[in-house]
Amino acid sequence: MNKRDFLKSAAIITSASMLPSSLWALAKNDKLRTAHIGVGGMGMEDLKAIASHPAVEVTALCDVDAKNLAAALKMHPKAKTYTDYRQMLKEIGSDIDAVVVSTPDHTHAPASMMAMEMNKPVYCQKPLTHHVTEARAMRKMAEEKNLVTQMGIQVHSFYDYKLGTALIQSGIIGKVKAVHAWSPKNWGFDGPAPEGSDPVPDTLDWNLWLGTAPERPYKEGVYHPGNWRKIMDYGCGTLGDMGVHIFDTPYNALALDIPKTIRTKCRKPTGFGFPENNIVTYEFPGTEYTTKKFKWVWYDGPGAPKNHKDLKLPNGDQLPDQGAMFVGEKGRLLLPHFMQLPKHIVKGEYVDIDLEPFSNVGSPTEDYGAESKKHYHQFVDACMGKDQVSAPFSYAARLTETILLGVIAGRFPNKKLHWNSQTARFKEEEANAFLDGEYRKF
């Protein structure tokens, strides 16, 4: 479907009564039959984690790269294989119960939306979408169809992140007036767009990889398999990758909604790659856990974060490579990324945290592994009517919208953009052109 039909479908959903979401995916013989769109890289990790649930029966596998598909098929030889997710969903829609979307960012919404139109629960990797309009459309459809949905922010289910949320909401540092978050990863590219083209590998369907995104000639090592996050047409930069993970706990703990203003400090846009270094400053409406005026600053790229008095640690300690610092009226709380306990800091000294009142959060001795199965199994159990998800699209879409507003601000360096959440428009008209994009027919 084209972009206009995509957005319209979210607004004109049938008003017929809907079954409870858990019943949409209650499979025959207590099995959940899954279809996986994208099984390379993170898609392979998603496949392994979902399939590790005893109720899951991997029914279909889809990938535009034959190498990825062959590796996944070796693990699940009974599954049907496809290169085009549209063909897969049309052909075996009645034989599957849930869909897992693990593609590059630009295909998240088209694939997820098609699955949800067929009343299928969806687990979609982060960031939820490539454009703000897509995030809002997906949230609307998921809620109106009453579907089980989950975004792939696995750390959302980790003990240390749940503990960080509980500590902040307990008032351990008082009301929070600022958050600083950072990642030195570099999913940016400051060079020019490549010239010329290279032969497309026999194992890759380049047209299907591009999907709805603008067409470009294939260049070896520039897009597939690993560098698409750096390119504006396909990814969302470091902010859209690590920002989603690191924003998640502060965003959730502080009960934030959508920011009022956004300003990004970065180099001038090239129209091709994201800036390699960004400092994004958000201003949010206050909540019960923040001061009336609340600011959020994100730093990414080599050398991040910049020196700041709120980021100094006791005893001359070094900041963790990635993480977030909550700055409150009564102290600070450092939340490393990831699998490290939060650290409470008051007047330049570490303070021991009594964990006894937070025993209901879990245990720090739990083994999470590199990719926690809990988050995935939670989705499966919710589809079976045995649990509830913790990162449904109703939450994921708001978090993703916040992230994407910062990505858009990078196109207008050092200019404060004013966002109206009610109208879903910027005050600065020129910025509204980047809220969505035209879908290419493929």
pLDDT tens digits, one per residue of 401-415: 999 999 999 999 999
> 208 pLDDT exceeds 80?
yes
> What's the confidence (pLDDT) of residue 339?
79
Q: Residue 6's pLDDT band (boundaries 50, 70, 90)? A: low
Q: Are 239 and 280 in contact (CB under 8 A)?
A: yes
Name the phi and psi angles at 123, rounded to 5. Answer: -105, 115
* Range 58-86 average pLDDT: 98
CB neighbours of residue 363 within 10 Å: 8
Number of Cβ atoms within 10 Å of the Cβ of 387: 15
Residue 439 DSSP class: P
> Residue 367: CB partners within 8 Å, gap ≥ 6?
none
pLDDT of the residue at 361 = 86
Q: Is 16 exposed, middle or buried (0-12, 13-18, 19+ CB in 10 A)?
A: exposed
Q: Over 60: is that where the pLDDT of 369 sits? A: no
Rounded to an integer, the average pLDDT of 286-315 is: 97
CATH 3.30.360.10 fits 156-190+223-363+392-434, yes or no: yes
Beta-bridge partner residues of 334: 325, 343
pTM for this entry: 0.93
pLDDT surpassing 70 at residue 239:
yes
Query: pLDDT by residue (tens digit) across 20-63?
Result: 444 544 544 689 999 999 999 999 999 999 999 999 999 999 99
Q: What average pLDDT does range 211-226 have in this prediction?
A: 95
Query: What is the C-alpha to C-alpha distance for residues 191 and 76, in angstroms, rounded to an integer?
Result: 41
**Class for domain 16-155, per CATH?**
alpha beta
Sheet containing 417-420: order of strands: 349-351, 343-346, 331-336, 323-328, 176-183, 290-300, 278-285, 261-265, 417-420, 425-426
- Average pLDDT of the segment spanning 112-120: 98
Helices (H), 205-236: 206-210
